[in-house]
Amino acid sequence: MEALFIYIAKSGGLLLLFYTAYYFLLRKETFFTSNRWFLLTGLITSVVLPFIVYTKNVWVAPASTQNPDFQPVFTQTIENPLFEINWNYVLLACYGIGFMALLIKFAIDFYSLNAILKGKKVKQQADFKFIDVKENIAPFSYFEYIVYNSSLYTATELENIIEHEKVHSDQNHTVDVLVSRIFSILFWFNPLVWLYKKAITQNLEFIADNEAAKKLSDKKAYQYTLLKITTHENCVAITNHFYQSLIKKRIVMLNQNQSKKRNYWKYYTVIPALVAFVLLFQIEVVAHEKEQTQKNSAAEKVKGMDVYEIKKTTTDQELATITEKLKAEHNVDAVISETKRNSNNELTSIKVDLKNGKEETQALHISGSDAIKDCGIIIKTEENGSKKIIVVTKNEFQKDATEASKIKIKKTQKTNTNTDVKTNTTTGKSDPTNGTTNTHVITTFKTNVNTNVNVSTDGDKNETTSITYYSQSKPKVIVKSGGSSAKQLIIVDGVVLTDGTSMDDIDALDIEKMSVFKGTQAIEKYGDKGKNGVIEITTKK
């Protein structure tokens, strides 16, 4: 109900604006046709413009949920009275009564008009239909119909009347009359609407008088005809009838000099007022609270590092944003491919290839049937300005940069599972000596001097083999074996590493793939030489 009252107030204000401009600036001008369109524009604007609202979104800081100055307020409950008048319903009922009364009157006027036209002899002439009636009524026009009683007028008077009504019919003034009548029914409670309706009707008569006088040879005779028609009191509603009140004003306007064209500026005086109306009342400001933690953000700051998070709910648009930010902020080329989603639109597979300038970095490849676990890319800038690119899981985001650079692959008996790097896992046969199951892990890494990668592979008796690429001035590979001091068999490109060859001679940047075999599988493949474990190294071609 409040919205309805606001609309009525806005519509009434716009109608007042146009009527005031017409009454004080345009009413005495001879721009009758322009005045017609100005008044009709005012009606349409008053109805349509209040519905046009521009929404402006603003973001504000979230309101605190805890107020230290909060003081409890004790309220007292007052029982409602037994009977309470709802004034909204009272006003609505009053409006409905007035609306229905005027609507019924409108229907009766249509019925009366139809009774006059029905069964009468029609004389067609060009686009006009003339009807000569016997009733003592004032001449009128209704669309193409022109109705008059020829027995009441002389030939000259009848000629003047017909020329006047032809103008009404030819310019479709009936439309203006009906529109203003409908507005007066809808907004009957607003006195301004009735004044506006009167202004429209009077201006239509000015137009007809002005045009008819141009075609008649005796302008004074036309004015005498106007005076004679005033003796007829019977007029048909919802028509353009020749008789109108304010005959004196019509005669004055007939003899008034034409207005100068420079006075057209008066029509534009409403424009600044309309602009002010829109700016003051038609712009709706909608405040949105900023989220304290931005979810699914393309990049976050964690301990001085730039973190680009990838979650199972990350959209394709957000992935594209990550790619753009990596390139724009760190000159890192990221190619995201092999994305697959389940029925819940969650990521189940994704591959991210990273390249820092001309140097390649490690790739992230996750594939499986279940939704991926949270992972991401960390870009850490060293003191010397070099950048370190690290691929980690969400749990590692909070770790130190050194710890976050380690990617661990633990023993599993599931195949094609989600991991943090591209991993193929196969399960071997049980070892009859200890009853344990041996796991063969093949892991692919692409590295450069800005990357540290640690691989831990659990084998028999919880032994751990650690293979570490170090990003130093001279990249090298160090092999450490936990739980046993026995020497492992190291094979580079199918050639067994001899005792005279140091691991320091192997450049970490040249390594394409490393495979670790332990327990039964190592023995089955290499015999007794592989009993302490085998490390296969394949270098880049």
CA angle 22, 23, 28 (to 5 degrees): 90
Q: What is the pLDDT of residues 483-522, one digit of tens each?
A: 444 577 888 877 777 655 556 666 666 777 777 777 787 8
Return d(Cα 131, Cα 125) in angstroms, integer: 11
Give 351-393 pLDDT, tens digit per residue.
888 877 666 565 677 777 788 888 888 887 776 667 777 777 6
Joined tokens for residue 235: 């007029």
Residue 513 φ/ψ region, left for φ over 0, alpha for ψ in the -120 to 50 degree band, beta for the rest: beta
Task: Look up residue 209 and give its amino acid.
Answer: D
Contact partners, residue 298, CB within 8 Å, separation at least 6: 308, 318, 321, 322, 325
Q: Which strands make up the sheet holding 300-302, listed edge to edge?
A: 300-302, 305-310, 375-381, 387-393
Q: Are 128 and 166 in contact (CB under 8 A)?
A: yes
Average pLDDT by consecutive 10-residue portion of the chain (541 residues)?
88 96 94 96 95 85 56 51 78 94 95 90 92 89 93 91 94 95 95 95 93 89 82 66 69 89 94 95 82 47 69 86 84 84 85 72 72 81 72 53 37 32 36 37 39 42 45 48 61 72 65 77 81 81 69
Structure tokens that stand for 227 in this block:
């005076």
- Region of 345 please: left (phi>0), alpha (psi -120 to 50) or beta: left
3-state secondary structure labels for all residues of 164-191:
HHHHHHHCCHHHHHHHHHHHHHHCCCCH
C-alpha distances out from residue 212 to 151, 222, 230, 384, Å: 22, 9, 18, 93
Alpha carbons 466 and 502: distance in angstroms, whole number = 17
> In this structure, are residues 211 and 83 in contact, taking their beta carbons and an 8 Å threshold?
no
Whole-model pTM over 0.85 = no
Q: Strand locations in 135-293, DSSP E?
A: 140-142, 145-148, 240-241, 283-289
pLDDT at position 181? 95
* Contact by Cβ (8 Å): 27, 252: no
